[in-house]
Amino acid sequence: MVAFMISRRSGPSLYQQVAAAIRKKITDGDLVAGDQLKSEKYMAEEYKVGRDTIRDALQHLRNEGLIDTRRGYRSRVRTPIERELVWLRSGEKVFGRMPTPEEREQLDMSEGVPVLVVADHVYPADRFELRAE
């Protein structure tokens, strides 16, 4: 059974179609946290596209925080981490942005994870949530 028809001539680009197919598997629960995806090579053959197209799709899924990829190891569905609660004092402002490469390094963050900034404190958004006092 072919779950998805990946075709050049149906609107979205190939990598977007592939990304949508994998995204659906995750949101539908066919793939759950910790599950490995197939290898890029395998998926390239499965969807009949180039490996580059698969990598494009995976990169977008990484940037959505859905999967994690390590060199030499297949991509895995990310485990939602319990967010640590940080109290926000009255009057304090918070905004979000992507981390600098240095911050990503220092805070050991995955690609595609934003940060919350409160009074010069930088919180990885996948591990912290803020609550107004």
Can you tell me which residue has the tokens 């911050």?
A: 103
Q: How far, in whole angstroms, is CA 115 from its chain's centroid?
A: 14
- Interaction residues for a copy of itself, span 8-67 (CB under 8 A): 16, 20, 59, 63-65
30 vs 42: CA distance, rounded Å: 18
Radius of gyration of the chain (CA): 18
Q: Which does 13 bind (CB under 5 to 8 A by kind): DNA, a copy of itself, none?
A: DNA
Q: Does 53 bind DNA (CB under 7 A)?
A: yes
- Interaction residues for a copy of itself, span 74-103 (CB under 8 A): 83, 85, 88-101
Strand pairing report for 115-118 and 121-124: antiparallel
Report the interface residues with a copy of itself, using CB under 8 A. 16, 20, 59, 63-65, 83, 85, 88-101, 111-116, 125-126, 128-133
